Amino acid sequence: MPQPDEPQIGGWAPFTTLDVPGRLAATFFLRGCPLRCRYCHNADLQARRGTFPLRWLEALTWLDQRRGLLDSVVFSGGEPTMDRCLEQMIRDVRSLGFEVALHTAGVSPKRLGRVLPLLQWVGLDIKAPFGDYARITGSEASGARARVALAMLRESGVPYEVRTTVHPALLDAQVLQTLALDLRASGIGRWVLQPFCGRGCVEPALSAENISIATSLVTHLRRIIPEIVVRTNGC
């Protein structure tokens, strides 16, 4: 089990084509997240410490043996920017010749800013209209921080995508329209919608129905944001 001052890995996917568009990647899920999103399916990663046996030096040895086989290494979570070792982990991975990608909810723009110059791609989770974040995340400040993180990404020149998890009990058509307007005002022209995945959800009531995103809703939202992709990720 990792020591307190080591990277806190909570899980990993050795080979995935889902986490970075067009790339074969290995994804490491880092522990710790200050948000309490109602639809979260990785709630076991919210705590900073855990018992997952993989340590970072072991992971680096494994990656060294996969040079030429993998394109990218992804840091996901949890919320990977909460791990104080993240910058060094990214540098370790880059030293092996891999591209580096990050999945984040933008909870710490300051920490995101430190690692942005080292990244080749970012997936930014936008949870709700910026003024309505607390209803989803349980954090009053999270919407303002996500807005700042989005602005930083747009200015950085690093390739990125903005994606939102959709459950009609949390984000109905009217709320999604408000969010689309928020994103358009922020300069976003491409938006990925992900139907809620009930596996591991912290609110069982949300898992009681199968979720799909109506074609008519997507058509309506495309009047605001021209390019909208619905991604199921095989859930």
Closest CA to 196 of 175, 212, 180, 177: 212
Taken in order of first residue, the domains within the chain and their CATH numbers are: 9-230 (3.20.20.70)
Identify the residue with better confidence: 201 or 188. 188
Q: How many CB atoms lie within 10 A of CB 172?
A: 12
Residues 1-8: contacts with CB under 8 Å, at least 24 apart? 1/50, 1/51, 1/52, 1/53, 2/52, 2/55, 2/56, 4/49, 6/55, 6/56, 6/85, 7/55, 7/56, 7/83, 7/85, 7/86, 7/89, 8/32, 8/48, 8/49, 8/50, 8/83
pLDDT (tens digit, 9 = 90+) per residue, 80-139? Answer: 999 999 999 999 999 999 999 999 999 999 999 999 999 999 999 999 999 999 999 999
Per-residue pLDDT tens over the stretch 144-190: 999 999 999 999 999 999 999 999 999 999 999 999 999 999 999 99
Q: What is the pLDDT of residue 1?
A: 58
**pLDDT of amino acid 5:** 74
Structure tokens belonging to residue 154: 């747009």
pLDDT score of 3 more than 80:
no
pLDDT at 43: 81
What is the pLDDT, as a whole number, of residue 178?
98
pLDDT tens per residue across span 11-24 = 999 999 999 999 99
pLDDT of 210 > 80? The answer is no
Dihedral over Cα of 74, 36, 172, 198: its sign? positive
pLDDT band at 204 (very low <50, low <70, confident <90, very high): confident
Task: Compute the average pLDDT of residues 54-70.
Answer: 96
CB 45 within 8 A of CB 53: no
